Chain A
Amino acid sequence: MSAYADQLTADLLRPLLKTSWRFWFLAVLLTGVVSLGIGAFAYQVWNGIGVWGLNWPVFWAFDITNFVFWIGISHAGTLISAILRLVNAEWRRPVTRCAEVITVFALMIGAMFPIVHLGRPWLFFWLMPYPTERQIWPNFRSPLVWDFFAISTYLTGSSLFLYLPTIPDFALVRDKTTGFRRRVYSVLALGWTGTTKQWHRLESAMQIMAIAIVPVAVSVHTIVSYDFSMAPVPMWHSTIFGPYFVAGAIFSGIAALIIAMAALRKFLHLEKYLHPVHFENLGKLLLMMSLLWGYFVFGERMTTWYGNDVSEMTVFWQTQRLSYAPLYWTMVIVNFVVPVLILSFKKTRTIAGCVVASFGVVVGMWLERFLIIVPALSHKSLAYSWGHYTPRAPEILLLVATFGAMVLFYVLFSKVVPIISIWEMKIGQHPQLAHEHKSADEKATMWRTEP
């Protein structure tokens, strides 16, 4: 094995084979945060959904905000990874798995919220298309059922997209471990050996998955936007919502990816593999999405303002000047002003700069989801149906717990799976290898000149 490959394997397997007290401390702390959320959910199930701040006319608030937000975050991974794979971007190699993991866990968290929000969550299986003895089937004309199909497809596809390229790495870990761990990794590796046929089939499968997953990812957030735009609610019933939601999802997803990569780089000492150039490239992408997001917001607001429909303008002014204005302008600052100021200049487009901008975007995108949902419901059409919404402890705890769960899942995953694809990193060295061969005049061994 070359010195580079040796070092690479050692560095990327270190988190799996050695456990520091910091890991246990973090795991216990995060488990505590998640337990708070589970407790809040149990309290809600026991007492009914009335323990939330929801009340007529606002029946969607934190729960659906969290749903849309986390589904958006999930767009970081698989979509970005698939696009980078398809265009064969060399710099993708250390990034793809970090990103794909975000997708799977964010989807799991996001998909939980429609169930949490059902009030009687134990009946969630009514969404599934199965013939019951009462002959009641899901209504395929309902956006809630579309969500079920879209998220199920995306979660299945993303999980497989994450799992397939980890099989060779599981085989590597299998060969480097003993005892119980070896048995577990043997099962996960499925008996992978690495024959030329297996490599070809794996690469073909990854190509097909990358091609298939991109439209699925786009469809998922479009369908999430349909939860709103199919309803005749002021400022919801808009044709722009599909692409607006997709752009916002990719925007928040890239921000989450930058934060995750910076944390991995710092805590797992991956400075040799996650270089400043990776952050700079993602920073440029974040800048582009920030500008695109600003364009969509301008388009949406301008159209509403120019149309001057009374019910739409009521909601419009709530966010521009009235009770939701502080949240709205905070959103504009952290989603647009701050990222553009930081990421436009090479001098500030550093790792720290990208992370600061990304934290702002994550907060801003959660606010954006909240501001789409609550002002429209609380000031819908006629004044007699107006109301207010104030969150209570259970939904705040649930929100906090989702962030805890995301970090906990990520920490646990990076403890059992190499967070950077080892075999893909090794392939990254091959152009150099081929060049070395030519310069050593060993062309006779190359396939191109084989008689």
Chain B
Amino acid sequence: MTAIYGLFDKPDAAQRAYTGLKRAGVQTRDITVVSAEPFEAFEFSHRDHSMILFRLALVGGIVGFLAAVALVRGTELAWPLVTGGMPIVAWWPNLVIIFEMTMLGAIVTTVISLLVAAKLPQFGRTLYDPAVSDGKILVGAPTASDAVREALTQSGAVTIKTIDL
């Protein structure tokens, strides 16, 4: 597959290209915008919002909680050692472990979810140009049709390139 992309100096030019690509018939989900920093003030940056990470963090926290309850209760029942006159299953001290493992579950799940959702790590060929690190904004589409090339050119792309993915 031959993809095409343009590099833009300014975010407003990237926005024009994004709008132009949509008018050229490219589906929103197929347009790639790559930048060295997020641009919250522009429409192209307002795709892909999702609360999935928050939900998964909650699930991770619940899993951590259940694992902690099983660990402390199971351990104390398996090795019923009386300490300091406390009951065998002593919930006050157990709460410390349960709290920490709940939070650990939420934190680790968040990071794993981020990696999966952001498709990291990825070391294969992808729609990217090192010029992005120099401040350029890449706007690309998966098909290098004339209409797409025209949209990128008219939006003020400083460079237009194609890439085999």
Interface residues of A (CB under 8 A from B): 1-2, 5-6, 129, 135-142, 145-146, 149-150, 152-153, 156-157, 160, 164, 167-168, 171-172, 174-176, 186, 190-205, 208-209, 212-213, 215-216, 219, 223, 226, 423, 426-427, 430, 433-434, 437, 442, 445-447, 450
B96:A212 contact, CB within 8 angstroms: no
Chain A residues within an 8 Å CB radius of B136: 1
A199 closest partner in B (C-beta): B38
- In the assembled complex, 25 residue pairs joining A and B whose CB atoms fall closer than 8 Å, in A order, are A2-B135, A5-B135, A6-B135, A137-B79, A140-B93, A141-B90, A146-B96, A149-B97, A149-B100, A164-B114, A190-B115, A192-B120, A193-B132, A194-B34, A196-B33, A198-B118, A204-B51, A205-B111, A215-B103, A216-B103, A430-B41, A437-B41, A445-B15, A446-B41, A447-B42
Chain A residues within an 8 Å CB radius of B79: 135-137
Interface residues contributed by chain B, number (CB under 8 Å): 73
Residue from A152, A186, A190, A212 with most neighbouring chain B CB atoms (10 Å): A212
Residue from B36, B42, B46, B111 with most neighbouring chain A CB atoms (10 Å): B36
Secondary structure class of chain A's binding surface, majority of residues: helix
A157:B103 contact, CB within 8 angstroms: yes
A445:B42 contact, CB within 8 angstroms: yes
Q: When A141-B90, A176-B133 are in contact, do A150 and B96 touch as well, CB less than 8 Å? A: yes
A150:B114 contact, CB within 8 angstroms: no
Contacting residue for B114 out of A205, A223, A442, CB 8 A: A205
A201:B118 contact, CB within 8 angstroms: yes
Instruction: Tell me how far the C-beta of A289 lies from the nearest C-beta in chain B, rounded to whole angstroms.
Output: 24
Mark interface residues in B91-131 (1 if CB within 8 Å of A CB, else 0): 00110110111011011101101110111111110111010
A201:B53 contact, CB within 8 angstroms: yes
Chain B residues within an 8 Å CB radius of A209: 107, 110
| Interface: B84 (CB within 8 A) | yes
Interface residues of B in 1-30 (CB under 8 A from A): 11-12, 15-16, 19
A212:B110 contact, CB within 8 angstroms: yes
A199:B107 contact, CB within 8 angstroms: no
Chain A residues within an 8 Å CB radius of B106: 208, 212
A215 to B106, CA, bound (A): 12
